[in-house]
Structure 1
Amino acid sequence: MMRRRAFLATLAAALTPRLTWADVGSPVFLAAGKRDEDHFLHGLSAAGESLFRIPLPARGHAAAAHPTLAEAVAFARRPGTFALVIDCATGAVRHRLTPPDGMQFNGHGAYSGDGSLLMTSEVVAETSEGRIGLWDTARYTRLTDWPSHGIGPHEIRRLSDGRLAVANGGIRTDPVDRRKLNLPDMRPNLALLSEDGALLDRIDLPDLRQNSIRHLALSGDSIAFAMQWEGDPSEPVPQLGLWTPGSPPRLCPPPEAEAFAMQGYAGSVAATRDRILVTSPRGGALMLFDAKGRHIATHHRADLCGAASTQGTFTVTDGSGAVWTAEDRGLSPLSRADTRWDNHLVALG
């Protein structure tokens, strides 16, 4: 009898119509946030209004949005203790993903173009050796994992042709308390993997080995990468770089007068066809650059971090609950909520 009931439940789930993003109000962004002492994943409209709010068991970091279905994976703040596959129509947790023994999620993931696969940023807990987990999304079963070809991978981005860019931050951390263990010897890199996980190309920063490569955005044929400086804080270093695979990386310093505006820390990066935006919650600032990496403007606002682009427009969030549009001329308010927005704003589509 129990087997029959289990079979019928599985059959019913398989026959249940799967809703699309249009069925849940056509959100444009996903964002984690905290209200009072509770944590949530929100779907936001283009105007920054919350269309749905789904509880999380602890602080969230980034999310991955299925390309068509109203389904998202919410990742814990690293080192990851949860990755939840959430039905954004009902709020139900469809699956709780668990990496293999001795491994941890590292805050980010990406779907394949057709949504059939999920790729997750992971580390071997004891060594911080990077891995990319591969999951079949029909039932979210683990298929395999690939080397990330670096230490401490964080954000991963799927290119339109299926290749995968991996920001290997280079920092070995204690698996429990996150202490940084190898700062004098760290070596971040940006790796490009094929659709089957083979290493296609990789660059590092031999002259700035303590500039941890953390976050990624796609800017035409280039990959924009945002960095966090772990060296001498009195030394001004750029927090933005551009890399066109097959060519050397190009760093994008701001004007000398603003060299310390971001306090060595980039929290998120986003790109449109002709602009790149980098935020710094530590510096309370964002910087805009053109597609060639030339500085255009710096705007100031406390605790800015989340950033995404859609239809040529930048949207940013801050830790006080505000959502903003960012342009060359300044910041314009979109909405405000009783929510402390977390690090990332994820654009759908």
Structure 2
Amino acid sequence: MASRRGFLAGLIAAGVFPAPTWADAGAPKYISAARTADGAYVLVGVSMEGTETFRLPLPGRGHAATAHPRLPHAVAFARRPGRFAVVLDCRDGTTLATLDSPVGLHFYGHGTYDASGGLLFTTENDFENGQGRIGVWDVTKGYKRIGEFSSQGIGPHDIRLMPDDTLVIANGGIDTHPETGRQKLNLATMQPNLSYVTQNGELLDQIMPSQHHASIRHLSVHSDGTVAVGMQWQGDTSRAPALIGLHKRGREMALLGAGDVLDGYVGSIAFSNDGTQVAATSPRSGQMQIFSTRDRTLIQTLTQPDICGAAPFTAGFIATTGQGQILSSGKGTRELNTFDLAWDNHLVPL
């Protein structure tokens, strides 16, 4: 099979066959991990109308996924402290590669391609040394690991590609170890940060939240270089500060909203297509809050139990819940569809 794939890849590169696109996988607009009613784990493609375009099995619980910029390939990452990531051909479910984190490291559930789709970057934990790492994988060589570099912090969770082809990393600041599961080992001394690095790992800029218990977890990037930041409070949630941030390199972070209203937890964050709005979800409080990025005021609140996945929609946002619903914002809340699935944390736009 590997030689056949290599032969076909060579024909595609030579222009004998056209390269497959996302249209060949049913033209999904989003992908998300989910759990089925019988407890199996899957990766699902979702259309703009909220219908299913494909459903592929996963070896365990997925957290987030990242999609190739051109080819119908998706990488599904294990939930922390998982050690697997699976590259799937979303046309037929073929496993193109299985990524195993090196000894002493585990994945943190997120990754991103570069603009060409030739490199994949993954967030990882060097758990013996309590340091964050970014793994680098060569897509053109069958997702071969070719290097790694420091995430410039502890507990790197999300990572995104910036418009100038640099990377931005959400270092949550929380030290964990597989032997203690998801236990947080350094809450008294944790130091989260938002780090901007080159694709070689050179630090370009770094900013820390004013309160060190605000763990930076999730990111969204707009085309003008603004980064939306979703944080999770590691203290008394009734006293949680604002946990939604907007940042541009060289500036201070602007904070929006009130963290206690979100029960101290932002599960996902997304810009609208035009960048004039930002949405943050909290499955713990059952809310999606939508803010204006111009004056930072709250525009709309969607209330739905276990709402978490969020992504831009035609007008406003689309969201998923752990109860199987797909919702859209706009003029009120509209239910697009309900599946016999428990959607996981993230809805990834293509």
Alignment of 1:325-344 (within 5 A): 325-327=328-330, 329-344=331-346
Between stretches 232-241 and 182-191, larger displacement belongs to 232-241
Cα separation, 2, equivalents of 1:42 and 1:132: 26
Residues 23-78 of structure 1, C-alpha deviation per residue, up to 9 Å, x if partnerless? 11110000001112111000110111110000001111100100010101000111
Say yes or no: does 1:271 pair with 2:274. no
Look up the match of 2:7.
11
Deviation at 1:237, TM superposition (A): 1.1
2:205–2:249 contact (8 Å) kept in structure 1: yes
1:119 to 116, 121, 133: 121
Alignment of 1:160-179 (within 5 A): 160-176=163-179, 177-179=181-183
Amino acid of the structure 2 residue aligned with 1:120: T
Out of 220-229 and 26-35, give the one that drifted further. Answer: 220-229
Match of 1:80 in 2: 82
In the superposition, relative to structure 1, how do residues 115 and 6 fare at CA in structure 2: closer, same or farther (>3 Å)? closer
Residues 254-296 of structure 1: per-residue CA shift (max 9 Å, x gap):
4xxxx53210000000002200000000111111111143222
CA–CA distance in structure 1, aligned partners of residues 2 and 264 of structure 2: 54
Alpha-carbon distance between aligned partners in 2 of 1:335 and 1:317, rounded to the nearest angstrom: 10
**Aligned pairs for 1:174-189 within 5 A:** 174-176=177-179, 177-189=181-193
CA root-mean-square deviation: 1.7
Runs of 4+ in 1 over 6 A off after TM superposition: none
- Partner SS for 1:246: coil
Assess if the C-alpha contact under 8 Å between 1:167 and 1:214 holds in 2. yes
* TM-score, normalised relative to structure 2: 0.92
Structure 1's unaligned 5+ residue stretches are none
What residue in structure 1 maps to residue 23 of structure 2? Answer: 22
Q: Aligned to 1:93, which of 58, 77, 95?
A: 95
Q: TM-score scaled by structure 1?
A: 0.93
Q: Deviations over 1:218-262 (max 9, x none)?
A: 2433111000000122313112011110011121134xxxx5321
Contact 1:127/1:172, CA 8 A, preserved across alignment: no
Of 130, 139, 143, 1:140 maps to 143
- The 8 Å contact of residues 310 and 347 in structure 1, kept in 2 or not, is answered as no
Q: Secondary structure at the match of 2:329?
A: strand
Deviations 1:189-221 (A, max 9, x none): 00001233211000002x310010000012433
Q: How many aligned residue pairs are there?
A: 338
Given the superposition, is the C-alpha separation of residues 300 and 19 from structure 1 closer, same or farther in structure 2, using an over 3 Å criterion?
A: same
| 1:4-24 deviation line (CA, Å, top 9, x unaligned) | x97567435644754210111
Amino acid in the other structure paired with 2:20: L
**Greater strand proportion:** 1
Question: What is the distance in 2 between the residues matched to 1:44 and 1:8?
Answer: 30
Counterpart-to-counterpart distance in 2, 1:268 and 1:12: 38
Structure 2 unaligned blocks of 5 or more: none
Q: Is the 8 A contact 2:309 2:345 kept in 1?
A: yes
